[in-house]
C-alpha cells in the first residue's frame, strides 16, 4: 500500500504521517529527509545539493526525482511508502506514476487535510517552544502548563518565522501549487479529503477508515 498525504503548513500532516507509519509499518518518504541524508553522507550528489542550498536556490525536480527513485526502486520498501511532501507539482506527480509503474507499484490513496487559513494562522502564530526542554505548545489550542524551572515566561520562545504574514504566504503558495495536483488525483478517484480542524485522534480515525476500505480492495 502506497499513500500520499497533503496538508498546508501547520495542518498537522507530520503528526498524522508518523501515526500512519507506526500503525501500518510504512516507510515515510520525506524529500527534506532525503536531501539532508545525502548532505550528511557527503555523497557526490549531497555535495551538489549543499552547494545549491548554500546559494539560496531551489533543488531541481531532476535531483528530487533521483532521490525518490532510489527509495521506490528498493524492494524492501515496495508497496509500503507514505509520501510526505512529495509530489509538489504536476511534473513530480507524473514522474512518480512512471517510477511506480516501472517497479510494479501504484498509489492506493491520496489524503488531503483541509484546514482554514484562520486556523493555520492561529496554529503558527500561537506556537511556543520551551528553549530548555524543547516542548512545543500553542497559546490557543494547547497552552503551556508552567513549570518551576522551565516552560515559563523566561524559556518559552516564538520562532522568528512564525508570523501571520509568513503563514498567509505559505498557505497561498501551498494552495496554488496543490490545486492542479488535486485535480489530477480527483480524476483517478484516489483523493480523499479530511477536515484537519478536528482533534488528532479523530482525524486519524478517519484516515484509518479510508485505509481499511482501501485494504479491502488490495
Does the active-site annotation cover 75? no
Assess whether 146 and 188 both reside in one domain: no
Structural domains counted in the chain: 2
Q: Could you list the residue range(s) of the whole structural domain that residue 145 is in?
A: 128-161
The catalytic residue among 13, 28, 122, 123 is: 13
Identify the sign of the CA torsion 168, 169, 171, 175: positive
Distance (Å, whole) CA 52 – CA 69: 20
Assess whether 97 and 185 both reside in one domain: yes
- Of the CA atoms within 13 Å of residue 105, those in its CB half-sphere come to 24
The catalytic residue among 19, 88, 106, 114 is: 88
Question: Which of the listed residues 141, 161, 181 is the one where a domain comes to its end?
Answer: 161
Does the active-site annotation cover 158? yes
Interval 103-140: pLDDT, tens: 999 999 999 999 999 999 999 999 999 999 888 899 99
Assess whether 136 and 153 both reside in one domain: yes
Assess whether 151 and 45 both reside in one domain: no
Interval 136-180: pLDDT, tens: 899 998 898 877 788 998 999 998 888 899 899 989 999 999 999
Interval 181-209: pLDDT, tens: 999 999 999 999 999 999 999 999 999 99
Assess whether 150 and 200 both reside in one domain: no
Assess whether 181 and 202 both reside in one domain: yes
CATH number at residue 73: 3.40.50.300
The catalytic residue among 19, 78, 158, 192 is: 158
Q: What is the pTM of this model?
A: 0.86
Interval 58-69: pLDDT, tens: 899 999 999 999
Does the active-site annotation cover 13? yes
Assess whether 107 and 138 both reside in one domain: no
Interval 72-107: pLDDT, tens: 999 999 999 999 989 989 999 999 999 999 999 999
| Mean of pLDDT values over 41-62 | 90
Amino acid at each position: 500500500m502506497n499513500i500520499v498525504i497533503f496538508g498546508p503548513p501547520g495542518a498537522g500532516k507530520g503528526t498524522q504521517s508518523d501515526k500512519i507509519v507506526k500503525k501500518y509499518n510504512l516507510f515515510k518518504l520525506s524529500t527534506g529527509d532525503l536531501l539532508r541524508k545525502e548532505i550528511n553522507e557527503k555523497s557526490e550528489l549531497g555535495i551538489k545539493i549543499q552547494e545549491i542550498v548554500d546559494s539560496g536556490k531551489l533543488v531541481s525536480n531532476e535531483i528530487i526525482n533521483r532521490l525518490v527513485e532510489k527509495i521506490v526502486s528498493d524492494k524492501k520498501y515496495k508497496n509500503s511508502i507514505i509520501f510526505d511532501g512529495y509530489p509538489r507539482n504536476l511534473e513530480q506527480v507524473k514522474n512518480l506514476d512512471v517510477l511506480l509503474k516501472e517497479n510494479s507499484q501504484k498509489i492506493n490513496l491520496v489524503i488531503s487535510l483541509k484546514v482554514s487559513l484562520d486556523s493555520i494562522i492561529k496554529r503558527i502564530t500561537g506556537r511556543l517552544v520551551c528553549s530548555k526542554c524543547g516542548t512545543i505548545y500553542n497559546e490557543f489550542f494547547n497552552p503551556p502548563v508552567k513549570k518551576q524551572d522551565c516552560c515559563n515566561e523566561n524559556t518559552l520562545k516564538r520562532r522568528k518565522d512564525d508570523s501571520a504574514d509568513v503563514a498567509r504566504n505559505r498557505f497561498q503558495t501551498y494552495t496554488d501549487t496543490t490545486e492542479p495536483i488535486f485535480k489530477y488525483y480527483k480524476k483517478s478517484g484516489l483523493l480523499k479529503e479530511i477536515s484537519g480542524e478536528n482533534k488528532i485522534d479523530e482525524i486519524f480515525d478517519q484516515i484509518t477508515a479510508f485505509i481499511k476500505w482501501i485494504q479491502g480492495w488490495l
